[in-house]
Amino acid sequence: MRARTVVRRGARLGVLIGAWPAGIAGVLCLVAAFVFLVGDLDGTAYALAFVGGCAVLGSMAAGVTVGAATGLALAFAPRRLLANAPLRGLLAALIAALLTAALTVAALTAGCDILASTPPSDQLLVWSPTLVIALLAAARSGEIAGYGTDR
């Protein structure tokens, strides 16, 4: 199987990973923008619409990046590792979790803030998707690598 096919399957997983947060953030920002627009606060409404658009595009880009990197790692993994389902899932979960964690740290420290100053409730909210993304990548690793049920 060609590496391009495996990376493409990983990117499709990335679209799935990025679509949920993009949809939630987009809908919330659009509803809030509409509320401010009705309340004659045009500047705030436009700013919220812009922030929502950036959140949607950023979430989709991050998701596709995580999925494509997972597919790339599975494309170049040894064949006997790919044939073993637990090891294949572990590899996919590690790649997805490490990349998601790196993107999370970059997002949390973007404003020259230190990671330790983020409140624990925000940290729980921000770090829990890393586990979900890792589990999703592990569960879909067979499909990505071409060892799924449609074989």
User: In this predicted model, what pLDDT tens digit does every residue of 71-103 receive, in sequence order?
Assistant: 999 889 898 888 888 999 999 999 999 998 888
- pLDDT score recorded for residue 36: 85
- Indicate whether 82 belongs to any domain: yes
Domain that holds residue 47: 3-144
- pLDDT score recorded for residue 151: 43
- Indicate whether 149 belongs to any domain: no
Region of 146 (left: φ > 0; alpha: ψ -120 to 50; beta: rest) is: left
In angstroms, the Cα distances linking 29 to 1, 17, 25, 32, 148 are 42, 19, 6, 5, 38
- pLDDT score recorded for residue 112: 60
- Indicate whether 150 belongs to any domain: no
Ranges in the chain, pLDDT < 70: 1, 111-116, 148-151
- Indicate whether 151 belongs to any domain: no
Is this model's pTM higher than 0.85 or not? no
Domain count, the chain: 1
